[in-house]
Amino acid sequence: MTDLTARLKTLLGDSAVERTLNGLPRAVPTSTDCVAAVLGTAHEEGWRVRVEGSGSWLCGDAPCDLILSTRGLDRITAMSGEDLVGTAEAGVELQALRRRLADRRLWLAVDPPGRPERTIGSVVVTGTSGPLRAGLGPVKDHLLGCTIVTGDGRIVRPGGKVVKNVAGYDLTKLMAGGFGAFGVVTDLHLRLRAMPERDATCIAKGARDALTYAARELIENGLDVQAIELFSPSLAGESDWVLAVRAVGSQDGIASEFGRLDVAPNVHWVELGREKAAALWVVTERAFAGQHTCVRLGVFPDGVDETIDLVLDRLGDGLISASMAAGGLRWSGDTTAERLREVRRTLAAREIPMTVERAAWSMLERVGHFGAYREGVATVVTRLRSAFDPKGRLQVALDGCDDA
């Protein structure tokens, strides 16, 4: 370990190498070239590498010989209000990026779960979309390009172009939700929006069945809003389930859409003040970071009710957030690998994918972020990992041993 630390200091300088409490060296490179130097050396020397951002989302317990932190990649290098494009390094914290954009009346329309110090790189590589996904798209829709360092130290700048030597896959899109299995993202080119004139939220409280029925009525009647999200009582901090409708845009446009909420019978709507609305979304984002395990399910909107019942029955009480407009469900709480494997098999029969967003390594190595792939997909993923991390230096458990 002493030799490894010495090599890192030679590559990066003394100030860019830290010693963790458990004795592992942590490399904190400050440029893409430095990341490439670390990974290239790790590839040759056989070092296992765990990549981390601010350490606020993924559990930092994957076995490794060294930690590669993106904290040193913390610059916002470009921001264009005219083109609505921004470039930020992967280690920039989301809260810092939001502040800089707000100063220019710009907005990155992503609202992932987790604490505000999550890095933008973490948000992209884990693909953790929030409620705004319903109206403004998932994380990959806000990603125009990126710079990637492969597991063997090559620098790839696809810029949104298809990389021909990996079966025609768009590497930029592949990185969104790849959990870092195909390389380390060092900077990102982001699609921005003008800051909306108004951001408003209405909520209704009550029994889950009544709220989901109301949500379906609103959707069928064409309600044009950016989020229609269902929160469990434990997540919203209420005694009942909460249905939240969020709209961003002009004053008149939002007033028109909120005026249509009464189409849903037997539901009482309350528009929240600006501070209370902001608090609701912040609380429901941050709560997920406090749980040991977090999974997301790719369920269609019309299957949300049935899937919530299944999750509560098999995994038990936990924090639940479900998009009634776009589909998708997030559950977070305490469970076991055996229960997750059972739920994943049940969901697979219904063609509902389950992604483990965060969990202890002891669970991930058994269950995997993605679990068993469908026929034909495993071959493609294996080929991609072989192309970008030939010797498997990056410690990422995509598939686990779900079928064992």
CATH value at residue 316:
3.30.70
Report pLDDT for 161: 43
384 is a domain residue? no
Helix (H, G, I), strand (E, B) or coil at 383: helix
Residue 384 to residue 140: CA distance in whole angstroms: 18
For residue 28, what are the CA distances in angstroms to 51, 97, 280? 10, 20, 35
Residue 320 tokens read as 């639940």
Partners of 313 in beta bridges: none
Residue 59 to residue 332: CA distance in whole angstroms: 14
Residue 144: CB atoms within 10 Å: 16
Which domain CATH number covers 172? 3.30.465.10
- Sorted by sequence, the CB contacts under 8 Å of residue 296 that are 6+ apart come out as 128, 328, 329, 330, 331, 354, 355, 357
Do residues 177 and 209 share a domain? no
Do residues 228 and 305 share a domain? no
Residue 28 to residue 177: CA distance in whole angstroms: 23
Torsions phi, psi for 193 (to 5 deg) = -135, 155
Report pLDDT for 174: 81
Report pLDDT for 1: 57
Residue 124 tokens read as 């992209």
Do residues 212 and 75 share a domain? no
Residue 380 to residue 227: CA distance in whole angstroms: 34
Report pLDDT for 381: 81
249 is a domain residue? yes
261 is a domain residue? yes
- Comparing CA positions, the residue from 273, 271, 282, 283 lying closest to residue 244 is 271
C-alpha 326 chain-centroid distance: 16
Low-confidence stretches of the chain (pLDDT beneath 50): 160-165, 167, 404
Do residues 63 and 119 share a domain? yes
For residue 63, what are the CA distances in angstroms to 162, 188, 397? 33, 28, 11
Residue 203 tokens read as 């909520």
Domain count, the chain: 3
Torsions phi, psi for 16 (to 5 deg) = -100, 10
- Read off the pLDDT of residues 24-49 as tens digits, 9 standing for 90 and up: 999 999 999 999 999 999 999 999 99
Residue 368 tokens read as 């995997």
Residue 280 to residue 211: CA distance in whole angstroms: 17
Residue 95 to residue 4: CA distance in whole angstroms: 34
Partners of 54 in beta bridges: none
Residue 65 tokens read as 């010989």
Interior/surface letters 326-353, b for 16+ CB within 10 angstroms, e for the rest: bbbbbbbbebebeebbebbeebeeeebe
- Read off the pLDDT of residues 221-262 as tens digits, 9 standing for 90 and up: 999 999 999 999 999 999 999 999 999 999 999 999 999 998
pTM for this model (two decimals): 0.92
Report pLDDT for 371: 73
Report pLDDT for 133: 96
147 is a domain residue? yes
What Rg value do the Cα atoms of the chain yield, rounded?
22
Helix (H, G, I), strand (E, B) or coil at 185: strand
398 is a domain residue? no
Residue 242 to residue 257: CA distance in whole angstroms: 19
379 is a domain residue? no
Do residues 133 and 218 share a domain? no
With contact defined as beta carbons under 8 Å apart, do 52 and 68 qualify? yes
- Read off the pLDDT of residues 269-278 as tens digits, 9 standing for 90 and up: 999 999 999 9
Do residues 121 and 179 share a domain? yes
Range of the domain at 339: 291-359
Do residues 252 and 272 share a domain? yes
- Comparing CA positions, the residue from 166, 165, 185 lying closest to residue 175 is 185
